[in-house]
Amino acid sequence: MRMQEKSIKFGKNLVTTEEFFTAGHSFCIGCGEALALRLACKALGSNVIIANATGCIEICTSPLPITSWRIPWIHTLFENTAATISGIEAGLKILMKKGTIPERNIKCVAVAGDGGTSDIGIQALSGAFERNHDFLYLCFDNEAYMNTGIQRSSATPYGASTTTAPAGKLSIGQITRKKNMAEIAVAHDIPYVATACPSFPFDLMNKVKKGAEVEGPAYIHIFSPCPTGWRHASDLAIEIGRLAVETGIFPLYEVESGRYRLNIARPKLKPVEEYLKLQGRYRHLMNREIEKIQAMINEDYAKLTKKVAAFAA
């Protein structure tokens, strides 16, 4: 005898049992992004309209003639998610103002990958921030163009091997450092910016809820482990996400109107090697390169803690 409760209690957190995109989707086995999306949708509820970029989420959820989506959803092109959601937001606002449609609470949410955000989509995103549209932008970062076959993006971390920046006799793989999209969002002076990870599901859901409730632009950068592209076992997405936070590779923090808060502060970070060794994309790294990465992470984390202290919430 089966009974679906309306929501399930985890301590103080109530998580709805409703699924806003159905199973039967074609995300890879053990996909961290699928889980992150599932949790984000639970935090958003059904009074949303989602504009989605081309990418893993779009492909896995909307192959004609079927759809996984149980909420209103639109995909147009790759780089224009923020522009599309700007039109949706402006359209809804004016139609309600003119009385053409009844006044309701409908949240405009943009969903895109790292490529669709920090590379090809950055112009549209910057414009949407500047125009102060009331929308929540969720960047699901699996650190490469995964859907098209693991090509590098500006979110690919230093030393990672991708198909267009592969590790080889003459190369370490990615030779540039990961573009800091969260800080770029902060530089636009928007009311809410946060980083999140599905390994910390309640933190993620609370942030998505917070971002949705903010009036004006909100940006959440969501770490999304990818077994296929990062070459790790299909059951490790949660562990890898946890290590990313615990090693300082992906710190969890929020910035509300320019005021920083570190959500998970660790006096001592775990060594990055624990994180790197689980993933095939870093398999080629020599000790000195791992040390270099460790130094970079220490530097970045120190910078962040300084900001947290200087602009404390």
Partner 1 sequence: MTQKRLKIGTDFTWRDMEVGNIITEAGSAALRRTGDWRSQRPITDKEKCNKCNLCWLYCPDAAIKPLEDGYYETDLFYCKGCGICAKVCPKGAITMIEEEEQ
Partner 2 sequence: MSKRIGLEASFATAEAARMADVDVIAAYPITPQTHIPERLAEMVADGELNAAYVPVESEHSAMSACLGAAAVGARTFTATAGQGLELMHEVVYAASSMRYPVVMTVCNRALSAPLSVWGDHSDAMAVRDTAWIQVFCQNSQEAFDLTLWAFRVGEDPKVLFPVMVHLDGFHLSHVTEPVILPEQEEVDRFLPRFHYPFALDPNRPMTHGGFGPPDIYSEAKIAQELAFRQSKEVVLQAWKEFGDIFGRCYCPVESYRIEGAKTLLMTMGSFTETAKIVIDERRGKGEAIGLISLRLWRPFPFEEFRQTVKDAEILIIFDRCISPGMGGPVFSEVRSALYDEEPRPKVVSLIGGLGGRDMSDEDFDYVVSRGKEIAEKGSEKMLETVGVRGEVIRIRG
The one segment of 114-122, 143-151, 234-242, 268-276 that binds partner 1 by CB under 8 A: 234-242
Nearer to partner 2, 63 or 168 (CB): 63
Q: Residues 155-194: x/- map of binding to partner 1 (CB under 8 A)?
A: ----------------------------------------
Choose between 89 and 114: whose C-beta lies nearer to partner 2: 89
**Separation CA 306–CA 294 (nearest Å):** 18
Rule CB under 8 A: say whether 23 interacts with partner 1. yes
Please report whether residue 123 would count as binding partner 2 according to CB under 8 A: yes
Q: Which stretch binds partner 2 (CB under 8 A): 66-74, 150-158, 189-197, 225-233?
A: 66-74
Query: Which residue's CB is nearer to partner 1, number 38 or number 178?
Result: 38
Task: Say how many CA atoms lie within 13 Å of 219 toward its Cβ.
Answer: 33
Q: Which is nearer to partner 2, 1 or 64 (CB)?
A: 64
232 CB-near residues (< 8 Å, 6+ apart): 225, 240, 278, 279, 280
Number of residues engaging partner 2 in binding (CB under 8 A): 50
User: Is position 101 an interface residue for partner 2 (rule: CB under 8 A)?
Assistant: yes
Question: Looking at 4, 100, 215, 268, which residue binds partner 2 (CB under 8 A)?
Answer: 100
CB 29 within 8 A of CB 234: yes
Does 238 help bind partner 2 (rule: CB under 8 A)?
Answer: no
Q: Are 158 and 184 in contact (CB under 8 A)?
A: no
Judged by CB under 8 A, the residue of 27, 35, 57, 86 near partner 2 is 86
Task: Establish if 94 lies at the interface with partner 2 (CB under 8 A).
Answer: yes
Q: Is residue 118 close enough to count as binding partner 2 by CB under 8 A?
A: no
Q: Shortest distance, CB of residue 202 to partner 1, whole angstroms?
A: 9
If one counts every other C-beta atom within 10 angstroms of the C-beta of residue 268, the result is 7
Q: Quote the CA–CA distance of 151 and 18 in Å, as a whole number.
A: 34
- Phi and psi at 151, nearest 5°, equal -85, 155
236 touching partner 1, by CB under 8 A: yes
- Which residue's structure tokens are 């230093």? 158
Q: Which does 178 bind (CB under 5 to 8 A by kind): partner 1, partner 2, none?
A: none
By DSSP bridging, strand 135-141 and strand 171-172 are: unpaired
Element (H, E) at 33: helix 32-44
Cα end-to-end distance, the chain, whole Å: 49
Q: Whats the size of the chain, residue-wise?
A: 313
Handedness of CA 155, 55, 15, 207 (dihedral sign): positive
Summarize as ranges the residues that interact with partner 1 (CB under 8 A): 1-5, 8-10, 15, 17, 19, 21-27, 29-32, 34-35, 38-39, 61-71, 198, 201, 227, 233-239
